[in-house]
Amino acid sequence: MHSLASTEIDDSGPFRAGIMVVVTLGNPREKFWGTVLALTPSGLSICGLDLGSFDDSAALLKSGEGFDPATVFFPMHRVERLELDAPSGSIPSLRQRFHEKSGEDPAKFFWAVASSAASQGAR
């Protein structure tokens, strides 16, 4: 996948564009889950949702009401931790849990929303 940002990023690392991650942020403390759009020395661009709204967002999507995930930029000084959203033994990843609850693949859904927002912003 190509980055939505205009700057070049290293697409060979584990935190490349299109990968699902959980971000722990400081000041204020919060957790955000979504698809990496770009990771640069200045910060992280991501499309997703606050982890606290995970269940509600999946339920809205399943019911057909839908929701708009946020496309946001977090400056690197706020990023405390960035971890891959991957299964751990028998514990499913958030991506797998969201897909099971909503019927949608969140990586594809978030990427499509971010791509649409980027094309509308370029007008």
Tokens of 98: 């969201």
Mean pLDDT of 14-37: 94
**Beta strand segments in the chain, E:** 20-25, 30-40, 43-50, 70-75, 79-84
pLDDT at residue 13 in the model = 77
Q: Are strands 70-75 and 20-25 parallel, antiparallel or unpaired?
A: unpaired
Q: Name the pLDDT band for 56 (thresholds 50, 70, 90).
A: very high
Tokens of 105: 């693949």
CATH code of domain 20-111: 2.30.30
**Residue 60 pLDDT exceeds 50:** yes
63 backbone dihedrals φ, ψ, rounded to 5°? -75, -10
Mean pLDDT of 1-23: 68
Tokens of 33: 């889950």
CB 9 within 8 A of CB 40: yes
**Residue 6 pLDDT exceeds 60:** no
**Residue 3 pLDDT exceeds 70:** no
CA-based Rg of the chain, rounded to a whole angstrom? 14
Supply the pTM of this predicted model: 0.83
Neighbours of 77 (CB within 10 A): 11
